[in-house]
Every structure is written in structure tokens, then in C-alpha cells.
Amino acid sequence: MMTNNAPNAPRRTRSPLEQIQRQRSAPIARSGESRLRRGLTSSDERLLRRLLKEPQDYIDSDRFRQENAEREIFDEAPEIRKPDVSWYHPVMDDLGKDRKSTGKQVLLTAAEERVIFLQYNYARFRVRELQEEIWATGDREPTDEQIRGLLRWKRTAERLREQIANTNLALVLAMAKRTRMSEVDFADLVSEGNMALLRAVDKFDAGRGFKFSTYACRAIIKAFSRQGMKLSKYRQRFPTDFDPKLERSDHLEKKREEYQKDAAGELRRIFQENKAELSDIERTVIDYRFGLEKEIVGKPLTLEQIGQIIGVTKERVRQIQNKALVKMRGELESTLLGPQAEEEEPAHSLN
């Protein structure tokens, strides 16, 4: 009987799905020594690992496969002006004023757009070409030259993508200001527009002869519309309008109002029946100040006005008022809290 370790043991045949998965997860750096040997940083490794798993898409062109394509597309192409984005702020309210005062916006011609999009897609084409070359080798580890090529062309594509997006940042802000939505925050609208702009950069085919701004405007407006519809559906399911009943309960306020109303009624009864044993002058001062017996028309009298009526100083009226209020407060507490107050009195200790 032959074991699996025998020299002539048959090898297990992998399924087509397993073969593709192994091809797309080719080893990058098996150890720290491999990374050091290749001079890869941790960010290089992360980028390389992603590139070996996800195929790179691009907009194809016949010029990519011509002889000396790289030299014609990059070396012999005119230099494209780079934008100044120091003026950019995603939530600025006065777009035109800030842009004129802090930086000059670059507007590319149709010919310049064709050049930079051709360079961008050629870089992505080279990434895809290297990916297929590596995956075709099966289980073999990519060579140092292949790794350097992948990283170089991917970073070139990312740089060109960023340049195109920065050149058209003002387009997103202008469209956001024109498409104001009450239910969408302006910063969220700009963020959604920026994502739509990046997707438009990836999908735009300059070979068809259209300006990128025409294509991008349509993509940005569609993104704004989707965002508004998404929030509208969400708000229908989950209302977000302010509702005091959902914020907090008013039970304590109602109880407090009821207590104040009861206390005011009891206080009026105490005054009218003179339960607090107020003197005549005390009753006169309290009645003029608070109108517990007869309703006061207009504002209550001041201490000075009451003093002129009863012939004493303002300070004396204050003393009479405070003394009367202490009597009435004591009577009110004994009336409303009498049974509780007696229970809460400390018991005398028995010696």
C-alpha cells in the first residue's frame, strides 16, 4: 500500500476555481528578509497584495499596443498644467471670490484632456498587462522586475487620476451650489460629488471626442439625485424632524405646574382666612404686593409706593413683607406637608 509521502504518490488535481484563486493570491514576500531584499515598505506590500488580487480595469486604445507607445504617450506628449488647489475648501460659501483671491484654476483644452487621459489609461493598461503575466505563471512568485513595474505604473496612474480630479474640483462645488437640497447637508453633497467625479475619471473615454466636463456633470448630477432619493426614503422610514414628545417627557413639568397651582390656591385661602395670623399692616402690604384678596390691575405696587400709602419707609415695608411671608410659608408647609413633616421629625432618644 502506497502512502501520500511516497515518491510516486499521485498529485491532487486542483479545480479551475482553486487554480484562479491561487494565481490571484500569488505570494509577495514570504519573510522579512524577502521584503528587505526587494526594498519594499509596508505600504508597498499592501499595495502589491491588492494588485495581485484585484484585476485593474482601463479604457482601451489601439495606441497602447503600438511600437514605442510609452515614448509617444509620455515622453513626446506636451506637458499638462497642474492645478493650484490651495483655494479649495469643501464647504466654502463664496466659491468665486475665494478662488480668485487664493489661486488660479486650470481649465484644460480638449487636446490636453486627451493627452492626460491617454496617459492615465496607458498606466492602468500596463498594470493589467503585468497582472496577467504574473497570474499566467501559476504558483511562482513574481520577480523583482515585475513587482517594481506594478508599483511604478500603479502609482503613475494614481498620480494622474489625482491631477485630473484636482483640475475639476471647482466643477463639483459649482454643481453642488446649483443643486441645493434642503434635506442634504452641503458638505455631504460635495462629498458625494467628489466620489462621482473619481468614478467619472475611471470611466471616461476621451477617444470619443467629448469634453470631460460634459461627462462629469451628468455623473455628478445623477449622484446628487441618488443621494436625495436615498435620504428621502430613509426619512420616510425613520422620521428625523424635531418632535418635543420624542425628546423628553413633560411629566415632571406637569406635576410641577399642578403643585404650583395647588400651592397658589392654598396660599390665597390662608391669606383670606388669615390662617397665618397676620397683622392688619402685614395684610395690607401683602395684598398690595401680590393681590391675594383683590385682583391687581396693572403692575403690582413697589415697596416705595406702598410705603407712601401706609406712611413708612421703603425699607420698613420690606421688613413687614418678609415677616409676613415667613408666617405664610410656615402655615403653607404645615398645611400641605403636615403629616409628612410630623413623621420626619427626629425621635427623642430615651435615656
Amino acid, res. 272: Q
Q: What is the pLDDT of residue 347?
A: 43
Structural domain boundaries in the chain: 39-237, 253-335
Mean pLDDT of 131-149: 88
Q: What percentage of the chain reaches a pLDDT higher than 90?
A: 31
Instruction: Report H helices in 238-250.
Output: 244-247
Domains 39-237 and 253-335 belong to one CATH topology: no
Phi-psi region of 68 (alpha: psi -120 to 50; beta: other; left: phi over 0): left
Mean pLDDT of 340-347: 46
The distance of Cα 98 from the centroid of its chain, to the nearest Å, equals 24
Q: What is the DSSP letter of 300?
A: P
Residue pair 144/48 in contact by the 8 Å Cβ criterion? no
pTM: 0.56
- pLDDT confidence band for 245 (50 / 70 / 90): low
What are the grid coordinates assigned to 340, written together?
A: 409628612
Tell me: pLDDT of 168 over 60. yes
pLDDT tens-digit series, residues 96-127: 444 444 456 778 899 999 999 999 999 999 99
> Packing angle between helix 169-178 and helix 186-203, nearest 10 degrees?
130
pLDDT tens-digit series, residues 266-301: 888 888 888 888 888 888 888 888 877 666 556 778
Q: What is the pLDDT of residue 9?
A: 47
- pLDDT confidence band for 215 (50 / 70 / 90): very high
Q: What is the pLDDT of residue 224?
A: 87
- Which letter, b or e, does each residue of 258-286 get, where b requires 16 or more Cβ atoms within 10 Å of its Cβ? eeeeeeeeebeebbeeebbebeeebbbbb
291 Cβ neighbours under 8 A, 6+ residues apart: 300
Return d(Cα 34, Cα 207) in angstroms, integer. Answer: 42
Question: Which of these CATH numbers, 3.30.870.10, 3.30.70.890, 1.10.3720.10, 1.10.10.10, describes 253-335?
Answer: 1.10.10.10
Tell me: pLDDT of 158 over 90. yes
Residue pair 123/64 in contact by the 8 Å Cβ criterion? no
Cα dist from 344 to 106, 340, 347, 349, whole Å: 82, 6, 9, 15
Q: What is the pLDDT of residue 250?
A: 67
What are the grid coordinates assigned to 350, written together?
A: 430615651
Domain 39-237 has CATH 3.40.1350: no
Q: What is the DSSP letter of 84?
A: -
Q: What is the pLDDT of residue 239?
A: 54
Half-sphere exposure for 56 (CA within 13 Å, toward CB)? 31
Tell me: pLDDT of 187 over 90. no
